Amino acid sequence: MPIVQQIQKRMLISLAKIAKDVNLHEGDHVVIEQKDGGIFLRPVDWVDKSQAYIWTEEWQEKIRRSEEALANGEYKTFENVEDCIKDLEDMINANHSKNETI
């Protein structure tokens, strides 16, 4: 439901009514966008909050392993998308078969 908020002196508005719902706290940053005749606020950190997961320990480890594999030549190339999909399907089927025998 929309919230009607009066603009205060110095063009200030309060976000208190919705701040908790969008995980916004004092000192946080927001991107202000003028779009479609309106003003949109989007919470951001030093990276966009919707992209913050990439900086978790888990994802940083995945990236590190991927970079090492790439540097070691541990990757495949394909002539077309169909070959790539077939390889992925073969890998899934192999893992499925392996799990059935365990």
Residue 1 lies in a domain: no
- Indicate whether 60 and 94 sit together in one domain: yes
- Indicate whether 61 and 90 sit together in one domain: yes
Confidence grade of residue 4 (pLDDT, cut at 50, 70, 90)? confident
Query: Residue 62 is part of which domain span?
Result: 56-101
Confidence grade of residue 102 (pLDDT, cut at 50, 70, 90)? low
State how many domains the chain has.
2
Reduced to 3 states (helix: H, G, I; strand: E, B; else coil), residue 59 is: helix
Across the range 8-31, mean pLDDT stands at: 86
- Indicate whether 95 and 72 sit together in one domain: yes
Strand stretches in the chain, DSSP E:
29-35, 38-44
Residue 85 lies in a domain: yes
**Per-residue b or e along 53-80, where b marks 16 or more CB atoms closer than 10 Å to that residue's CB:** eeeeeeeeeeeeeeeeeeeeeeeeeeee
pLDDT for the residue 16: 83
Dist CA 61 CA 63 (whole Å): 5
Domain with 34 in it: what CATH number? Answer: 2.10.260
Residue 97 lies in a domain: yes
